[in-house]
Amino acid sequence: MRTILLCISFLLFALSAFAQEPLQRRISLKNFGNDSLHIPFNAAYFMVEDSCAQITRQVKLNTKERFFYGLFKDVLTQSPEVVVAEGNYNSDGLKDGDFTSTYLDGVLQARGSFKAGQLDGDWQIFYPSGKPKLTFNATQDAITLKDAWDENGTKVVENGTGKYEVRLSLVTWKGKLLNGKPDGTWIATSPQDRSNRVLSSERFKKGEFVSGTSPIGKYTDESRIIWFNLSDLPFLNAEKMAIASELCNASPRTFRKIVGVNYRNGVEAYKEEIRRVISEYLSTVDLKPYDDVLHIEGEVSEDGRLMNLRHKNAFNDRIATGLERVLGRLPLLQPAVVDGKPIKQVFRITFKFYQGMYSFNYQFLPIRLDKQNM
């Protein structure tokens, strides 16, 4: 197999802490048969060097317009007899016809059809375990959800009716389905926010979008909800012909899931709890002589208690000690977690006293991972 004469080499520039030197990536597209190419991808369908490719796409490429056409087949690079995805592109480079994809271990991931680049007809999506995840019907105008299951195999939507949630990378949308269409109010929350604070919401009536709200305001043009996670169809990335950001032999990045301290009723509710306990105490103290600032620092323990409170530069030790005592009586918090494991997080509160009055603000400091938490 020879490398195509117009072998595509990509020159990327990486910034180093010590120097700024160009870093050359050489990713080769190789001839396959008379008119097709072999394109090396990683498991997420980003282009990589041959030496670390997990998937090889066998496909025809319009090199001038940079789109695929005709039948394609994705195979395991080390076991080319194993097909992990296959389908067809029309002469304009649009997905057309039946598509099938599997996980790298051979378990069926998704199957369905496209028409002129759009999802078309019945689709089935499966979990890595092989259990069914979602079925839906797609037309040019809309997606009608039919059945859905959770990770445990429990059916949550049947014949288009039930409670459904779609987990995307940054938000999770939740709401009710009726006859395969959204109905009533749908809300979006962050999977990182244990208080489940609503980030966005949308309202539907008999499957028709009415209006939505987001952090930047109200909208009425169209729904922003994506009805299934596109990561369930990873082969879609191949069309971008994007290059993997990591070098072939680089150590894989370690991503930690870090969630800070939270209060079950939200940030404002916790501030009210602080205001309540300090108000009860400071109402017994004559503050008129003081025009000062007081800093108190402590930590939220692994079980959610505010503890180890200590003051700095106290203008009055009795007042500082009294505040530490009442702060220690605050309700339990939900502790910070790293990859699901509770850890401590630093708490800091600052009081300002002036003309017999006072104000305060507090914060939970950014989490710093030590070797114990790495």
Q: What is the pLDDT along the chain (374 residues), one digit of tens a residue?
A: 444 433 444 433 333 333 344 456 788 888 887 788 999 999 999 999 988 999 999 999 998 899 999 999 999 999 999 999 999 999 999 999 999 999 999 999 999 999 999 999 999 999 999 999 999 999 987 899 999 999 999 999 999 999 999 998 889 999 999 999 999 999 999 887 777 789 999 999 989 999 999 988 999 999 999 999 999 999 999 999 999 887 776 665 666 778 889 888 888 889 999 999 999 999 999 999 999 999 999 999 999 999 999 998 889 999 999 999 999 999 999 999 888 889 999 999 999 999 999 999 999 999 887 655 55
Q: At what angle do helices 317-327 and 267-282 cross, to 10 degrees?
A: 140
Give pLDDT, residue 281.
Answer: 95
The terminus-to-terminus CA distance of the chain in angstroms comes to: 45
Integer CA distances (angstroms), 114 to 32, 57, 119, 140, 258, in order: 26, 19, 5, 10, 39
Number of C-beta neighbours around residue 133 at 10 A: 21
Q: For residue 127, report the phi and psi dihedrals to the nearest 5 degrees.
A: -75, 165
Contact at 8 Å (CB) between 237 and 44?
yes
Which DSSP helix (H) or strand (E) runs through 275? helix 267-282
Look at residues 187, 217, 179 and name the one whose alpha carbon lies nearest to residue 203.
Answer: 187
Give pLDDT, residue 14.
Answer: 33
Q: For residue 68, report the phi and psi dihedrals to the nearest 5 degrees.
A: -80, 155
Going from N- to C-terminal start, the domains of the chain cover 1-154+230-253, 169-225, 258-373
Give pLDDT, residue 4.
Answer: 44
Judged by DSSP in three states, 269 sits in: helix
Please give the Cα distance from 48 to 9 (Å, whole number): 11
Domain 258-373 has CATH 2.60.120: no
Widest Cα–Cα separation across the chain: 91
Integer CA distances (angstroms), 124 to 114, 131, 145, 160, 362, in order: 13, 11, 11, 14, 49
Name residues whose C-beta falls within 8 Å of residue 306's C-beta, 6 or more positions apart in sequence: 298, 299, 300, 327, 328, 330, 333, 347
